[in-house]
């Protein structure tokens, strides 16, 4: 075994051990209780705000609330929805999907809280663009500048060495080669040029592309999953039962599956779920801060739908497809497992993999765009607007390099920096819990009586 890989594996196990899992889920549970099940009671209202848009055209911000959400979704709907779900189920069995659901349910409250704070504490940079995110609400809300800088450094690491570059570039290059036999070098050049063209235009350019591509790619992939699940509809109840049962009992080895205990199902489900929807990481608030809105609560509600779309809908579609087709028991892993599931479900060794490949390439490309913007916000916080152009050039170099890295190493690096990024953000949310509750209570008092469980203490 590679000594570097073993070392990174040890670090990953420490970062994603019980303390961080408890902090992630515990923060979501706490906010869910304090906010009176806001993610369940007010999901219809949030969806209404999303599609209605902000009526105040003069509200502060760079892009519409819908475009801001699409920018956030462009970063979250990525390889985690295809490769991440397959990896979680391969490691933890079908039960991992249940823990992804649970993490997403509580994660919606976390996403609401962090995006509310992003709008409340945002400011304008030297170029006239909105700045916001955990580094700003931690510094301005708690006064802990060291914690804010810690978040910015870790988030920059995620953008450059985690979700934003290596996994996405590698996925696109492999998909193009395996499905279309396009040489990796050609794909790298085209990908780098496309990323440069879009990202050099700033947040408006990224949001414009995201607001068109994200809805299309999500609908495209969901339809593909529905076709597969429709062809296997009789197996769906049994698959759901297997997911729930395996979550609490583990699963013995069958076929190509190596078997998994309960703890492995929990760890892989939550870790991959967080990789997919990014609730608690502090990434989405950086996009939410750019939204044209005059209400931090309204934007928080809109932003929390991102976790709902990403995990409750898209990841569930992928997970059930893997289970009903039996692909999770195969010898395949990652994107190859999902391709095998679609090939089996559609009874076609060509159409199935093509649908996965197209979806994967769209997902990965938009994730690169979203994380390029997040990294830009972090570099601006740390060094000012003068550092934006050098950062973007460095980012493009990393895109090209990431295409040739080994998959196992890529996922390990991404997991480690993800976990490190979440820690200061979650601490900030806990320190600012009363601000979150107060803003929420005041908003809902203007509409209806506040939730009964919206506590004051």
The predicted-structure confidence for 377-409, as pLDDT tens digits, reads as follows 999 999 998 999 999 999 999 888 877 776 667
Alpha-helical segments (H) within 53-165: 65-76, 79, 85-92, 95-120, 134-142, 145-161
In degrees and rounded to multiples of 5, residue 309 shows phi and psi of -65, -45
3-state per-residue secondary structure call for 355-401: HHHHHHHHHHHHHHHHHHHHHHHHHHHHHCHHHHHHHHHHHHHHHHH
The 10 Å CB-count burial string (b at 16+, else e) for 5-15 is: eeebbebbeeb
In degrees and rounded to multiples of 5, residue 63 shows phi and psi of -140, 165
The 10 Å CB-count burial string (b at 16+, else e) for 85-95 is: bbbbbbbbbbb
The 10 Å CB-count burial string (b at 16+, else e) for 59-76 is: eebbbbbbbbbbbbbbbb
Whether 195 contacts 58, CB under 8 Å: no
DSSP letter (8 states) at residue 454: B
Burial environment of residue 433 by CB neighbours within 10 A (0 to 12, 13 to 18, 19 or more): middle
- pLDDT computed for residue 83 by the predictor: 75
- pLDDT computed for residue 251 by the predictor: 67
pLDDT in tens, 101-138: 988 999 999 999 999 999 999 988 777 778 899 999 99
**What span, in angstroms and rounded, lies between the C-alpha atoms of 197 and 143?**
38
- pLDDT computed for residue 457 by the predictor: 42
DSSP letter (8 states) at residue 82: I
Structure tokens at 123: 């400011």
- Sign of the dihedral defined by the CA atoms of residues 358, 318, 53, 104, in that order: negative
Burial environment of residue 231 by CB neighbours within 10 A (0 to 12, 13 to 18, 19 or more): middle
Structure tokens at 284: 């989405």
CA 14 to chain CA centroid, nearest Å: 22
**What span, in angstroms and rounded, lies between the C-alpha atoms of 149 and 285?**
16
pLDDT in tens, 402-437: 777 766 677 777 778 878 989 999 999 999 999 999
Spans of the chain, pLDDT less than 70: 1, 53-62, 74-76, 78-79, 250-261, 275, 349, 406-408, 448-457
* Closest by CA position to 184, among listed 400, 16, 431: 400
SS3 457: coil
**What span, in angstroms and rounded, lies between the C-alpha atoms of 188 and 179?**
16
- pLDDT computed for residue 369 by the predictor: 86
| Beta-carbon contacts of residue 58 (< 8 Å; ≥ 6 apart) | none
**What span, in angstroms and rounded, lies between the C-alpha atoms of 340 and 352?**
8
- pLDDT computed for residue 256 by the predictor: 59
- pLDDT computed for residue 61 by the predictor: 61
- Annotate 209-260 with DSSP letters as a single string: HHHHHHHHHHHHHHHHHHHHHHHTGGGHHHHHHHHHHHHHH-B---TT---B
Number of residues assigned to the chain: 457
**What span, in angstroms and rounded, lies between the C-alpha atoms of 434 and 450?**
15
Model confidence, pTM: 0.86
């Amino acid at each position: 075994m590679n000594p570097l890989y073993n070392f990174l594996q040890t670090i990953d196990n420490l970062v994603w051990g019980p303390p961080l899992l408890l902090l992630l889920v515990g923060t979501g549970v706490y906010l869910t209780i304090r906010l009176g099940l806001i993610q369940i009671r007010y999901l219809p209202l949030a969806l209404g705000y999303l599609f209605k848009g902000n009526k105040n055209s003069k509200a502060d911000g760079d892009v519409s609330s819908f475009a801001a959400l699409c920018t956030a979704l462009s970063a979250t709907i990525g390889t985690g929805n295809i490769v991440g779900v397959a990896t979680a189920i391969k490691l933890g069995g079908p039960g991992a999907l249940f823990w992804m659901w649970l993490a997403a349910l509580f994660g919606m409250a976390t996403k609401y809280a962090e995006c509310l704070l992003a709008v409340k504490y945002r400011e304008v940079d030297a170029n006239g663009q909105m700045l916001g995110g955990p580094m700003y609400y931690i510094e301005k809300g708690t006064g802990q500048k060291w914690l804010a800088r810690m978040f910015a450094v870790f988030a920059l690491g995620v953008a450059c060495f985690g979700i934003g570059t290596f996994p996405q570039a590698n996925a696109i290059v492999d998909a193009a080669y395996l499905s279309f036999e396009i040489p990796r070098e050609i794909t790298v050049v085209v990908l780098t040029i496309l990323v440069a063209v879009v990202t050099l235009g700033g947040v408006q350019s990224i949001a414009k592309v995201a607001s068109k591509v994200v809805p299309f790619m999500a609908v495209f992939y969901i339809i593909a999953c529905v076709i597969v699940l429709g062809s296997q509809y009789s197996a769906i109840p049994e698959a759901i039962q297997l997911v729930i049962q395996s979550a609490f009992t583990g699963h013995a080895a069958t076929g190509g599956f190596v078997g998994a205990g309960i703890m492995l199902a929990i760890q892989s489900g939550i870790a991959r779920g967080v990789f997919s929807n990014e609730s608690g990481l502090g990434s989405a608030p950086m996009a939410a801060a750019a939204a044209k809105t005059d209400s931090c609560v309204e934007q928080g509600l809109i932003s929390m739908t991102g976790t709902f779309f990403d995990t409750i809908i898209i990841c569930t579609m992928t997970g059930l497809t893997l289970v009903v087709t039996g692909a999770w028991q195969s010898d395949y892993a990652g994107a190859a497992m999902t391709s095998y599931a679609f090939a089996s479900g559609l009874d076609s060794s060509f159409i199935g993999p093509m649908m996965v490949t197209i979806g994967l390439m769209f997902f990965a490309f938009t994730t690169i765009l979203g994380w390029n913007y997040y990294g830009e916000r972090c570099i601006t916080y740390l060094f000012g607007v003068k550092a934006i152009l050098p950062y973007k050039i460095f980012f493009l170099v990393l895109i090209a390099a990431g295409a040739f890295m080994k998959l196992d190493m890529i996922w390990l690096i991404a997991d480690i920096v993800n976990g490190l990024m979440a820690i200061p953000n979650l601490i900030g949310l806990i320190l600012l819990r009363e601000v979150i509750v107060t803003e929420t209570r005041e908003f809902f008092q203007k509409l209806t009586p506040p939730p009964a469980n919206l506590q004051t203490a």
